[in-house]
Structure 1
């Protein structure tokens, strides 16, 4: 039976992605596409019938994944392959990892953000640290809805997860995080471990639901791998030195990295100073 052009292209692309992971690719993976920033004119649909656009507190019970998915047909007109990457579907970015640990989430048109809930790291009762199961289960519900909608047409992938330092910065505020890194290292280490373990549990729970796509999995960068891919980040390292990162925060990033066979660590130019520690 003759292979279709689409199947042939996907087969060749998957081979190129395998070479990427093995660091044997002869050229970089590339694509050219239009940049689409967050749109301030798009309202966020809630299950109570509202479409919100201005600084609204978000409760997981207000999220109906199907309301978000209804909009996909309007925007998803791309082919499966664009350049050297595979298109995908992911749960909407709702600051998931921050929500898991207790941060209030707020939304406006074009943006979602988390707010601090800890006044002081020393006041936290670590024995009471618990994952917010409503948010945790909402991620899984969103994933299941996308799987049903996709029906195998696109891979379902991990949404944007912030890593331990970003989770802690969201919970405390950046200024108090920096103070804790110097004055309350032990308390901060316990909290960072909770953040890392929460990240891992959530991603593994989602990965258990996601069906294989042509024998493997993809990620929000459109790169295929034989096993589930972890994508993490540490944006708030922009506030600290490489030395402090290695001493206080790196162990928790490594906990996440070691939990998965394939990991992509997102860095900005302003955080590239931690790259050497990661490799």
Structure 2
């Protein structure tokens, strides 16, 4: 099997305080910013794990926004990396099987008693967002306050952009949502539209800055998109000008879909 493109980073490795860093991984543009030290930023508790199929059939991305310590995010990344071979096998399944089986496998990991017991030895908590794009569909699993968007002109006309909502009291950690008798999380699958689709993932450091103008999906889209390309660095430059104190991570990529029936009918 041809090696997949891989990016793994945690904020304790390099915090990018007062620094905007943008890196490419296959179709992904990965933007990292640790916050402004003059405004009070002192560390970066975000993290990223990304895998891309060299042939462009799928992308798998995880982003984290940890609290107080990055150890929780590192623990989950380690769990996923140890099971990389199994996950890559799942990603070869056809679309009508891949998302269901990947979802059930991820839930089995997060709810495994041994993993929960080991997890509870680590202090603090983390938000976690997982996305898998294969073919003309995107799947996500979200706990906490990271966000995923699917941008396309047709969807924006329907006032659709962000796929999930902020969940302030759900975390993975010492208070672990997956240790509850009934775990709470957000997940779903969406079909991409004909033409160019833009998938974007962010931590809440993007939203909670600059009078929160990026709470408006269209404003975020306008700041990202120009010359038929996503520019994640342009968003981080605005965060830097606004002297954001929270670390901010944003990942975006574009997927072109051939002719298909329109999903969103206009009046």
TM-score by length of 2: 0.28
TM-score by length of 1: 0.27
Of structures 1 and 2, the one with the larger relative CO (CA 8 A, separation 6+) is: 2
Rg larger in structure? 1
